[in-house]
Amino acid sequence: MKKVELLSPAGDMESLKSAVHNGADAIYLSGKNYGARKFASNFDLNEIEEAIKYCHLYGVKVYITVNTLVYNNELAEVMEYIKQIHEFGVDALIMQDIGLIKLVRETYPNLEIHASTQAHNHNKEGLEFFKSLGVTRCVMARELSIAEINSLDVDIEKEVFIHGALCVSYSGECLFSSLALNRSGNRGECAGLCRLPYELLENDQVIDLKEKYLLSLKELNSTENLRTILDSNVNSLKIEGRMKSPEYVGYVTAIYRKLIDKYYNNEEMILTKEELDNLAVLYNREFTKGYINNENNKDIINPKTPNHQGIELGTVLECLPKIKIKLTNTIHQGDGIRLPNGEGMIANFIYNRKDLLVSKGEIGEIIYLDNKVDLDKKGKVLKTLDSHLIKELNNYNLKKIKVDFTVIAKVGKPLIVKISDNINTIVKESIVLEKSINRPTTKTDVIEKLNKLGNTPFILNIANIELDSDVFIPIKEINNLRQQLTKELIHKRENSKREVIVKNNEFSGNSQLITNHFSFLVRNESQLQYLLDKDVIIYTEDYKLYQKYKGPNVFFKTNRVSNKLMELNNENILASDIGAVYKYSKTNNVVSDIYLNVTNKESIELLKNLSVNKIGLSVEIKDDDLIDINNSSNLELLVYGRPELMVMKYCLLNKFVNTDKACSVCHNQKKYAIKGDNKELYPIINNTCISKLLHSKNIDLLNKLDYYKDLGITNFRIDLYDEVASDIAEILKKCSR
């Protein structure tokens, strides 16, 4: 039976070591650039080489994230970086950019690639596309249930997140941070705008809600549901946390290692209350079992706070002169706490009832703390840092690798000692042995010396000893050979890597007919009717509208989230995810949407080769990045409209507006939006239980059309929201100038 892989995060070397020695089968990490967690410490090239050697020594794989979008002027640099880490022996790259994946597969055909969750892996056709590129694994969208993942019968490895932070938007589909603050989540710079407070508006009126954190999801915790995941067709279980502490990484790894081992040993998979509390105090925003374990949509979010919640410590009974707390949990000196007023502090000094300093307080006791934060409010106290636990977690046992020794000692023949880790075998010969004069060497003597492995990563498993009864082996020789063999085995394990094969292929995509179109995405029938007799292309997401007005200039826009794609042939299609492109481009007239994150010429050539007739460029692409885009391609650029900032399975309207058992908010004809502290209104559109958050304002680049035409862009897209006929007429005037 092939066992599932436990994959742990590492934002620095200490976290990596903690994961290795607490039971990880593989580690994922990032270099200083091109990783989706740019603000983690991450690894420079020297540290990457060291990390790979360290992990390989202990039989742990290393996957490196190169999962950001890449622009043309970065391609040479990122390929040189990939070449270096390939030579270091990286086991796989985790990647998002379809063009870069294509280029790496062409250049390094034996370098394993995993498609990041940033690649929006959520349907069968998307998995088939990546398999066709030679990708060996897809990291599945966190919005999929385990049943949905099991239904994707594509012969490709599947990886799922089991613990840690969740994104409210489908990964790779979020433009909020990018378009609001010029910090791209697709470039590792997410500003976490989903963790900020917002107001919900209905028809421009604020709905009175107690909760303000309308987009802040809880932390995923699969400990109670792990058996179901292990029973599935999933190959790898992934812990989120490249920005978390080494203690967090180590403990969460150890917990899931314990549960996985219990599963394969047919033991009951239960955690103690202490273990559950430890998980919570290390980090939680409250826990959810997540969409993977069929969590209720309304229970996926913690709208009260986006902060770490820790565990309950006790209750404040009095505030002055000191803070008086009745404990429901243990407190140690140095613990971090959060008080009823939301303020946090470290319990540097703990006093008992006699006003004497103590090092800790037990459950049920009354303790006192200095009121350093001017607390004047009674209520619940949380423990957010357990100093005692942190000390314990920093004293983990080092992992040991089992090795077998074989010793052949015959009188008149060289001493032979062999070491094996069941993968590598190293043999050494030494001096010719003589008969013993006084006391012959025994098997016990030899095993005792072989067992002296304390300063190595090895532990003796089996010792096969063949001795003549009268042979004498100088103890120094056994020690020397043991040291030489272990040193060589360390070197061999550290430097285990695949051969680097380099292939220089010329790639040419299919030719395209260059068109000159203005395309309008419409949101309703009246917008479509007004444009029907105009010389424009019309995109609609409403399939009924598409069928009603079907013609050469009307296209059906597929949903960005399409778990099951309908059968379509000889249709005009705006494909909004790579699965739809892969399925429909064979037998339909297909245009690729602006949400496919196309930012470089390699992605353009790939889509051309898939017979895409017009290619939408990413909304994130800047003018400077357009300069060397291949102008022999039929490209489309958004020049007016409100881009979709987020695409969510979570529906905040169902959470905060709907009061019926059968949800009806999609059909009540009311307008909804959220408003942040910046006073900007972000409209919400709901469609088939998928929510979209639109930009607070229209992008308007219509005055730059001539500039873009000079760069070789010949097709321009306008996204409508609530514009009426007179508004559309004004837009058309600007387009015709």
Token pair, residue 407, equals: 């010793």
Do 554 and 538 form a contact (C-beta atoms < 8 A)? Answer: yes
Q: Would 152 be classed as within a structural domain?
A: yes
How much is the average pLDDT of 114-129?
98
> Tokens 């967090």 map to which residue?
248
DSSP state of 144: -
Question: Are residues 601 and 706 located together in one domain of the fold?
Answer: yes
- Domain CATH for 97: 3.20.20.380
Instruction: Evaluate whether residue 172 is within a structural domain.
Output: no
| Residue 346 belongs to domain with CATH number | 2.40.30.10
What is the structure's pLDDT at 38?
66
Q: Is there a single domain that holds both residue 522 and residue 595?
A: yes
Q: Please give the mean pLDDT across all residues of the chain.
A: 94
CB 595 within 8 A of CB 576: yes
- Token code pair at residue 172: 């790779």
Domain boundary, last residue among 344, 367, 393 = 393
Residue 568 belongs to a domain: yes
Asked if the structure places residue 621 within a domain, the reply is yes
Is pLDDT above 90 for 123? yes
Residue-wise pLDDT tens digits, 237-267:
999 999 999 999 999 999 999 999 999 999 9
8-26 per-position pLDDT tens digit? 999 999 999 999 999 999 9
- The verdict on residue 17 lying in a domain is yes
pLDDT (tens digit, 9 = 90+) per residue, 380-416?
999 999 999 999 999 999 999 999 999 999 999 999 9
pLDDT of residue 736: 87
Predicted confidence (pLDDT) at residue 507 exceeds the cutoff of 60: no
Classify residue 663: in a domain, yes or no: no
- The total number of structural domains in the chain stands at 4
- In sign, the C-alpha dihedral spanning 648, 649, 650, 656 is positive
Q: Which of 232, 259, 290 is the last residue of a domain?
A: 290
* Average pLDDT over every residue of 144-155: 97
pLDDT at 509 over 70: no
Give the predicted TM-score (pTM) of the model: 0.95
Classify residue 210: in a domain, yes or no.
no
> b or e along 513-526 (b: 16 or more beta carbons within 10 Å of the residue's beta carbon)?
eeeebbbbbbbeee
Tell me, yes or no, whether 419 and 377 share the same domain. Answer: no
450 and 527 in a single domain? The answer is: no
Whether residues 446 and 347 fall in one domain:
no
Q: How confident is the model at residue 94 (pLDDT cuts 50, 70, 90)?
A: very high
Neighbours of 551 (CB within 10 A): 10
Residue 201 domain flag: no
In whole angstroms, give the CA distance from residue 166 to residue 168: 6
More confident call, 348 vs 504:
348
Residue-wise pLDDT for 309-364, tens only, equals 999 999 999 999 999 999 999 999 999 999 999 999 999 999 999 999 999 999 99
Q: If pLDDT is split at 50, 70 and 90, which confidence band does 658 have?
A: confident
Residues 455, 383 share a domain: no
Give how far Cα 455 sits from Cα of 21, 483, 562, 624, 666, Å: 16, 10, 55, 56, 65
- Alpha helices per DSSP H over 533-616: 543-548, 578-584, 601-609
545 and 480 fall within a common domain: no
Please, what is the Cα angle at 689 between 200 and 550, to 5 degrees?
115
Domain boundary at 460, 494, 528, which?
494
Q: Are residues 130 and 13 in the same domain?
A: yes
Percent of the chain predicted with pLDDT > 70:
97
Range of the domain at 591: 518-647+701-736
- CATH code for position 729: 3.20.20.70
Q: What residues contact 609, with CB distance under 8 A and at least 6 apart?
A: 507, 509, 510
Instruction: Determine the average pLDDT of the residues in 465-494.
Output: 96
Does residue 96 sit in the same domain as residue 224? yes
Cα torsion 194, 241, 113, 233: sign: negative
pLDDT for 662 equals 63
Residues 12 and 123 occupy one common structural domain:
yes
Q: What is the pLDDT of residues 41-52, one digit of tens each?
A: 789 999 999 999
When mean pLDDT is compared across 488-497, 572-581, 626-635, the lowest value belongs to 626-635
Q: Alpha carbon 474 to chain centroid distance?
A: 56
pLDDT at position 202: 94
pLDDT over 70 at 440, yes or no? yes
Same domain assignment for residues 384 and 409: no
Res 510: pLDDT:
74
Instruction: Residue 116: name the closest of 130, 105, 103 by CA.
Output: 130
Percent of the chain with pLDDT over 90: 91
- Same domain membership, residue 568 and residue 453: no
